[in-house]
A and B are shown apart, each in its own frame.
Chain A
Amino acid sequence: MISQFPVMPVMPMMRSLTVWVMGLWIVGVRVHGASVPTFHEEIEPLLHAHCSGCHRSGQSAPFTLLTFADATKHAREIVDVTGRRFMPPWLPSPQPEGFVGERRLSEAEIELFARWAAGGMAEGDPARAPKPPQWPGEWALGTPDLIVRMPMPYTVPAEGRDVYRHFVLPVPLDRIRNVAAWEFHPHSRAAHHAFLRVDRSGDARRRDAADPEPGFPGMDTPVSVRSPDGHFASWQPGAGPRRSPPGLAWRLEPDSDLVVQMHLKPTGKPEPMQLELGLYFTDQPPTNRPVKVAMVNYAIDLQPGATHVVYTDDYRIPADADLLGILPHTHYLGRRIEALAHLPDGVERRLLLIPAWDFNWQGDYTYRTPIFLPAGTRVEMRIEFDNSTANPWNPSNPPKRVRFGPNTTDEMAELWLQLLPRAKEGQAAFDKANLERALRDAIAFNTERLRIDPQDGTAHVNLGRALLGQRRQTAAFEHFRVAAEVSPTLDEAHYYLGISHRLKGENEQATAEFRRTVELNPSNTRAHGNLGMLELNAGHIDAAAAEFAAAYRLDPTDALACSTLGLIRLQQGKADEARPLLEKASQLDPSNTEVQQGLKFLRDRAR
């Protein structure tokens, strides 16, 4: 091939070098069998399709990738990050079922970027440029039915470690609404990923109020703050609006708060952030509800330097169901995630493979075509960890021993499935299986916590509660006893010790423990209720009434306290006090026949 172009030994050195380079270029062209790509013809359409959605002004990416100047300035970065498949960000390997919102370049497209850069970043003919891209309006699905906004901006500090924080957004609703779609606007380049959750308990609001700045810190979400019913709700930069499949809208009730858990990265300057959520409602109530199941391994214990350590868990599908979505979760030491379905006929099917996990880009994945999993399928989670210095994400250098826990320097191994049972009865089978797993997980989780700190009173209480759920009373009582011993000022420890005594018929000891509970925490409603019952059984009517009154004052939805107090007042001949209580109790629990009889008595007497 070299002999095909002229060799002129008499040429001055510079000119001969030019011919060399020219020759290499010509040879290169022949070898590739294609012309060198130019910006306007090959690169610009790729940028618009895969990059500019985020890499444009006002969006989340750190620089713009729209013009020839942008592309030449960042050419090396583009070749690097596309070649490593770091950009566009998408963690799972391709699945035959496909994923909604999948963002992948083909091998040929990656090679185009590389060839364009290596070939001198030719601009090409501007007349052959593609049409300028049309970006969606502010809200991709049009004006939302409701926009909720953080009341006050939060400022991400200029420097320091990554920030994990929850932001609480009260939702002004007058009735139950069904959310068909939502879109998240963080309005900040510091935003890296987010999970949307719902809180009906007020816990998140209280945590927010206790923190001087908007929101409250931590990767650890309060237990009462939950994902929308049956759904995962994650966001990463570039993710558009999230739509629920038809019939699977999620319910949002009045007095709920939306809670956004965010991972924020300092950018070098203070970044004020005032996020917005756009909600789209539907009048079609959900016709079905997906169930979520979790595989979790709490036994993580990674020695410094440990590599290729795999933690697993599995879940047996109790009834025929379609797998709609999947959510893996681990922190910075997780390297590879795999989910496998072992079907009853012996066939093994891969549900998810993330060959190179990246905490920064975590999220959930919805299959384009749901995967049918017949009853009896065993789903297996396999998560591989690397706690060596070779893991560039390792938050500790030198590496430290790492165990299960919610903080960045702890680890987790979780895999969640979103399933739609094929038959109505399937739902009950999942509920039963999930309750059993919840108890099993609570036992495993709290056992692990006690292994780390045997003096953790709350872990003893929670372990005891899970054991009670499994009807293992003797073991449960022992944990409540130890809880009260190691955490003598923990009201819940005394409360559950009181419960143990009540279950054993030891009423005096039970009364003493419930008294201790309300001394420690006068607003422990359940302790007041139990004291009321014990006093009532002992024939101390006035003392019982005082306890039920306290319980009802603390929690006006406590139907038992309300009805019992009403009936006591009726018995005491205080009809004026009894009537409103019984009327309220009838609203709270229309099935209580004693309340109905009491009300009937009052009506008859009035006549």
Chain B
Amino acid sequence: MKPNPLQELVRRRHGQLGFVAGLVLLWTGCRSLTGTPAAALVDLEGRSHGLTELSGSRGLVLVFLGVDCPISNRALPEISALSRAAESRGVQFALIYANPAETTQQVRAHLTEYALTLPAFRDPGFPVAMQYLTHVTPEVVLVTRDGHLVYRGRINDQSSALGRDRPQATRHDLAEALEAFLASGQAPGRVVPAVGCTFRSP
């Protein structure tokens, strides 16, 4: 059967997109291999901070979160507990409110409401989210001090889709990745897909 012109158009366009996506992947892959993160985060006062500056002596955990995403909010106590335990072992945590629909005022209110004491940042234009290919909240990235990817993805396995959650998590992927990294110092670049609220197009 002759493909109709519309299908043909869509196919060709997808082909192009695929090529572009491939280039982007190759580029980000090369960048994480070279291990020099150039992207910077912006704090709530508007000052820029390079990722190396925010990193602990061994590494950095970037936590992408939102002010009203229930999956993200429910995981916050786990983030706070992990950060307290990891800080003294050389890993710092940074909160990233990447959703441009959320105002800095909302972010400040959220920090207070959830009693969060970790440093909080925005990612205007998504340079950091694009560098690490994150697009939902909650999603975490664990990198070594020189920017090598140790782990990216979900915090735990409580939710397998929006609103579809177990009574309790049965796997704590970030905790496992942190533990393995602190023990071995290796950066295997493990990825477990995250489930949550989308803040930018994947």
Q: Footprint of B on A, CB under 8 Å?
A: 1-2, 20, 23-24, 27, 31, 62-63, 69, 72-74, 76-77, 80-81, 84, 86-87, 158-162, 265-269, 332, 358, 360, 392-397, 408
Besides A332-B166, A360-B163, A397-B171, 6 new A-B residue pairs in contact (Cβ under 8 A), listed by A number: A20-B9, A73-B101, A158-B76, A160-B168, A161-B167, A332-B167
Inter-subunit contact B101/A265 (CB<8 Å): no
Query: Provided the pairs A1-B5, A62-B73, A267-B73 are in contact, do residues A80 and B168 lie with their beta carbons within 8 angstroms?
Result: no
Query: Would you give the 0/1 interface string for B1-23, flagging 1 where the beta carbon is closer than 8 Å to chain A?
Result: 00001100110010000000000
Inter-subunit contact A392/B167 (CB<8 Å): no
From B102, B160, B198, A77 is in contact (CB under 8 Å) with B198
Query: Would you give the 0/1 interface string for B37-79, flagging 1 where the beta carbon is closer than 8 Å to chain A?
Result: 0000000000000000000000000000000111011111110
Query: Would you give the 0/1 interface string for B183-202, flagging 1 where the beta carbon is closer than 8 Å to chain A?
Result: 00000000000000110000
From B157, B163, B197, A86 is in contact (CB under 8 Å) with B163
Query: Would you give the 0/1 interface string for B104-118, flagging 1 where the beta carbon is closer than 8 Å to chain A?
Result: 000000000111000
Say if the beta carbon of B88 comes within 8 Å of chain A.
no
Residues of B within 8 A of A360 (CB): 163, 165
Offer 25 A-B interface pairs, CB within 8 angstroms, sorted by A: A2-B5, A23-B9, A27-B9, A62-B70, A63-B68, A63-B70, A69-B101, A76-B198, A80-B162, A84-B161, A86-B163, A86-B164, A87-B163, A158-B76, A159-B74, A159-B78, A162-B167, A268-B73, A268-B77, A269-B73, A332-B166, A360-B163, A394-B166, A395-B168, A395-B170
Nearest CB of chain A from residue B23's CB, rounded to whole Å? 15
Q: How many residues of B contact A (CB 8 A)?
A: 35
Inter-subunit contact B114/A161 (CB<8 Å): no
Residues of B within 8 A of A87 (CB): 163
Q: How far is the CA of A268 from the CA of B114 in the complex (A)?
A: 7
Q: How far is the CA of A393 from the CA of B168 in the complex (A)?
A: 9
Say if the beta carbon of B99 comes within 8 Å of chain A.
yes
From A62, A158, A162, B168 is in contact (CB under 8 Å) with A162
Query: Provided the pairs A62-B70, A159-B77, A267-B74 are in contact, do residues A24 and B13 lie with their beta carbons within 8 angstroms?
Result: yes
Inter-subunit contact B73/A161 (CB<8 Å): no
Q: How far is the CA of A161 from the CA of B76 in the complex (A)?
A: 14
Nearest B residue to A361, CB-CB: B163
Please count the residue pairs between chain A and chain B whose beta carbons lie under 8 angstroms apart in the complex.
Answer: 94
In B134-178, the 8 Å CB interface with A consists of 157, 160-168, 170-171
Q: How far is the CA of A74 from the CA of B114 in the complex (A)?
A: 21
- 4 closest A-B pairs by beta carbon, nearest first, are A159-B77, A397-B170, A392-B160, A161-B168
Residues of B within 8 A of A266 (CB): 74, 77
Inter-subunit contact B170/A358 (CB<8 Å): no
From A69, A76, A395, B167 is in contact (CB under 8 Å) with A395
Inter-subunit contact B162/A81 (CB<8 Å): yes
Residues of A within 8 A of B166 (CB): 332, 392-395
Nearest CB of chain A from residue B21's CB, rounded to whole Å? 16
Most buried by A among B13, B115, B163, B170: B163
Inter-subunit contact A72/B101 (CB<8 Å): yes
Residues of B within 8 A of A31 (CB): 6
Inter-subunit contact B74/A268 (CB<8 Å): yes
Q: How far is the CA of A38 from the CA of B102 in the complex (A)?
A: 23
Q: How far is the CA of A396 from the CA of B157 in the complex (A)?
A: 11
Residues of B within 8 A of A393 (CB): 164-166
Residues of A within 8 A of B170 (CB): 394-397
Query: Provided the pairs A1-B6, A397-B157, A397-B170 are in contact, do residues A267 and B163 lie with their beta carbons within 8 angstroms?
Result: no
Nearest B residue to A1, CB-CB: B5
